Amino acid sequence: MRESARAAEFRFERPELLERAERIAFVAGVIGVVASIIAVIVAPEAFLRSYLVAYMFCLGVTLGCLAILMVQHVVTAQWGFVVRRILEAGAMNTFFMALFFIPVLIGLPTLFVWARPEIVEGDKHIQRLAQYLNLPAFVGRAILYFVVWCVLAAMLTQWSRQQDEPQLAVFRERYQNLGGIGLLLYGFTMTFAAIDWVMSLDPHWHSTIYGFYFMAGQGLMGFAFALVIAAWLVRYRPLADLISKEHVHDLGKLMFAFLILWAYMAFSQGLIYWSGNLPNEITWYVDRTRGGWESVGLLLIVAHFALPFVLLLSQEFKRDANKIALLALWIIVMRWVDLYWVIMPSFADTRGHMQFSWMNIVAAAALGGLWLAAFFHTLRRHPLVPLHDPMLEQILEKEHDGH
């Protein structure tokens, strides 16, 4: 039943399932967009802040999928092959994220103090950063980031789709070369993107591991998202014929590894500034440990790290697709909470004073709904596995031998 000759027969059994999911996500996104327009009219500054949080969250899932896709090609791992099309569909949303970066550019003076001439004139520290933090350089770097990300996603996805044709099946060396180079480019561009789009919200504070903190979070989100979608589709062919408990276990272990990496980056950054105890460095943490923000920080320690850490220690838990998918979904929610805790206290009126409004939900619904609609649209247009990739034959043979 699972012999290699049947590889060409793999098609998704229930395409209407993805079509239905796409419609639901699109409707949710449209409702969110309508509510967002109302929010812009009522309180444009508050909405832009919420939009930035939602944007960095969706960008995190997108680039997390792209980075994991490149890692999979470099190491040629079977755990990555079974979710490759999921990762590709997520990575292709880089084009979507480039389009939806426009509101951030429009709201630049509202979000970033260094973009306000009246503030810059009275702040010598910001003046010293003006060669880097200025509008033309900011826009130019953003264009560069998106060009790199979109090119990487498009090339890897296009090659993968060509593997649905028998005569274009072998791209392993291409994948490895582009994946290795792409990971270096991703690390470089995401480091500066994190500095530009989040750290510069407070230009008086700096961190040398800020980019790594964001990349660890994106990797965690990418694995969590892939697990959620794979667990949802594993009941249907072809994933029902391919994904084994070993694959789920491997994905769970990698999600566990990135959870620890994220926690390590967060702890290391805090430890360094706590030991230095310099006012211009610890202020960032002081603003996030008072006025209600300390409750969010405690929630992150317990619900984002401690609880998943304890659960993921269990081998059996990591082999149960349903249980680990629920945990992965919880981690995705906690990733939004973490980004909210990092971004929101950067503004003058929220430092040391926690605020939460309906606009956060509206912005997340608008961007998240449209992001998912684009994801499902891409995912359902092609078979859920590259039909003639040599690794498919290896997995099928292994499954057949196991039976």
Decide if 400 is inside a domain. no
Q: Of 66, 87, 84, whose CA–CA distance to 76 is shortest?
A: 84
Burial pattern 319-356, b for ≥16 Cβ within 10 A else e, equals: bbbebbbebbebbbebbbbbbbbbbbbbbeebbbebee
Residue ranges of the chain with pLDDT lower than 50? 1-5, 8, 400, 403
Q: Are 366 and 35 in contact (CB under 8 A)?
A: yes
Decide if 391 is inside a domain. no
Domain count, the chain: 1
pLDDT for residue 382: 85
> HEC states along 225-269?
HHHHHHHHHCCCCCHHHHCCHHHHHHHHHHHHHHHHHHHHHHHHH
Amino acid at 166: P
Q: What is the Cα–Cα distance from 156 to 319, expressed in whole angstroms?
A: 29
pLDDT for residue 397: 64
Residues for the chain: how many in total?
403
Q: What is the Cα–Cα distance from 159 to 178, expressed in whole angstroms?
A: 11
pLDDT for residue 7: 52
Decide if 51 is inside a domain. yes
Q: Are 69 and 94 in contact (CB under 8 A)?
A: no
Decide if 396 is inside a domain. no
pTM over 0.85: yes
pLDDT for residue 4: 43
Decide if 227 is inside a domain. yes
pLDDT for residue 5: 43
- Interacting residues of 320 by C-beta distance below 8 A, sequence separation 6+: 248
Decide if 388 is inside a domain. no
pLDDT for residue 167: 59
Q: How far is CA 379 from CA 64, 91, 350, in A?
A: 17, 11, 40
Burial of 69 (0-12, 13-18, 19+ CB in 10 A): buried
Residue ranges making up the domain that contains 216: 12-383
pLDDT digits (tens, 9 = 90+) for 299-332: 999 999 999 999 999 999 999 999 999 999 999 9
Q: Of 371, 336, 372, whose CA–CA distance to 52 is shortest?
A: 336
